[in-house]
C-alpha cells in the first residue's frame, strides 16, 4: 500500500474521540503505529505490564489521542477566517467571550484549559461568528504556551480581517502547576494581546468592562 493510501485509510474511532468543531475520520496509520510503539516503550520503562488487559490497547489509544490533540498543525487559521469574510459597514466592537480552550503545555505535555475572550473592531469586513472559536481551537490544538497562543489568535484575526483593532484575553488553569511542581490548585494565569484601537486606554477599558458584565 502506498503512503497516500495508507494516509487515507480509515481506522476505528472511539466515541470519546469526537469533540467540538472537528471530527477526525482518517488517522495517519503509520504515525499511529510509530507513536503507539513509543508509548508502549514508555509504559514499560515506567514499570507497567504492557500486556495486561487494561493497558494492552493503551499505546494505540494514546497515539490517536495525541493526533487529535495536535491536529491544529494541519489547519490554516487564516483560511478559516477567509471562508466567512463579509463586507459590512460596521465599525463597533464585536466580542465573542467565554470560548472554551483546551491545550497542551509544550514543557510537560500536560493540559491547560480555560476561557478565551476575543474582540475586534471591523473596518469594512466582518467574519462569521463561529469562525472565531474555530481559530482559537486551531492554535490551541498544538503544543503551546499560553502567551504564544494569545498572540497567535490575535495576529491571525488582525492579518486576515485588517480590522481597526483586535483584543484577546485568555484565562487558564495549568495542570503542570496544579498536579506537579508548586502544586497550586487554585492558580489562574491571565494573558492578553491587543492591536490598534485596543491599545487606546478608553477602548481597552470598555472591552474589559464588557467582559466583566454578567452573561446573558
Mean pLDDT of 75-95: 97
Cβ 144 vs Cβ 106: under 8 Å: yes
Query: CA–CA distance from 11 to each of 25, 33, 194 (Å)?
Result: 8, 12, 42
Catalytic residue among 117, 144, 158, 174: 174
Catalytic residue among 17, 22, 108, 171: 108
Active site (annotated) includes residue 108? yes
pTM to 2 decimal places: 0.85
Residue 140, SS3 per DSSP: helix
Exactly one of 106, 159, 162, 199 is catalytic; name it.
106
- Give the pLDDT band (50/70/90) at residue 183: confident
List, in order of start, the domains of the chain with CATH numbers.
3-69 (1.10.286.10), 81-212 (3.30.1130.10)
Annotated catalytic residue 105: yes
Q: In the prediction, which pLDDT does 26 show?
A: 64
Q: Per residue in 120-163, pLDDT tens?
A: 999 999 999 999 999 999 999 999 999 999 999 999 999 999 99
| CA–CA distances in Å: residue 38 to residues 32, 35, 44, 75, 196 | 10, 5, 10, 25, 46
C-beta separation of 114 from 190 below 8 A = no
**Whether 146 is catalytic:** yes
33 assigned to active site:
no
Catalytic residue flag (residue 107): yes
Amino acid at each position: 500500500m502506498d503512503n497516500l493510501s495508507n494516509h487515507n485509510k480509515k481506522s476505528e474511532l472511539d466515541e470519546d474521540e469526537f469533540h467540538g468543531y472537528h471530527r477526525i475520520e482518517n488517522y495517519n496509520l503509520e504515525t499511529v503505529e510509530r507513536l503507539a510503539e513509543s508509548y508502549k516503550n514508555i509504559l514499560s520503562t515506567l514499570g507497567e505490564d504492557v500486556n495486561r488487559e487494561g493497558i494492552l490497547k493503551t499505546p494505540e489509544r494514546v497515539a490517536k489521542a495525541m493526533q487529535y490533540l495536535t491536529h491544529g498543525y494541519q489547519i490554516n487559521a487564516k483560511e478559516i477566517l477567509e471562508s466567512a469574510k463579509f463586507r459590512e459597514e460596521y465599525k463597533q466592537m464585536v466580542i465573542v467571550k467565554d470560548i472554551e480552550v483546551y491545550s497542551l503545555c509544550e514543557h510537560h505535555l500536560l493540559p491547560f484549559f480555560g476561557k478565551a475572550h476575543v474582540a475586534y473592531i471591523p473596518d469594512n469586513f466582518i467574519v462569521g461568528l463561529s469562525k472565531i472559536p474555530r481559530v482559537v481551537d486551531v492554535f490551541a490544538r498544538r503544543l503551546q504556551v499560553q502567551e504564544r497562543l494569545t498572540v497567535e489568535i490575535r495576529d491571525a484575526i488582525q492579518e486576515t480581517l485588517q480590522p481597526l483593532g483586535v483584543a484577546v484575553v485568555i484565562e487558564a488553569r495549568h495542570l503542570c502547576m496544579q498536579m506537579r511542581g508548586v502544586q497550586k490548585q487554585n492558580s489562574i494565569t491571565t494573558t492578553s494581546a491587543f492591536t490598534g484601537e485596543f491599545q487606546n486606554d478608553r477602548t481597552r477599558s470598555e472591552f474589559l468592562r464588557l467582559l466583566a458584565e454578567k452573561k446573558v
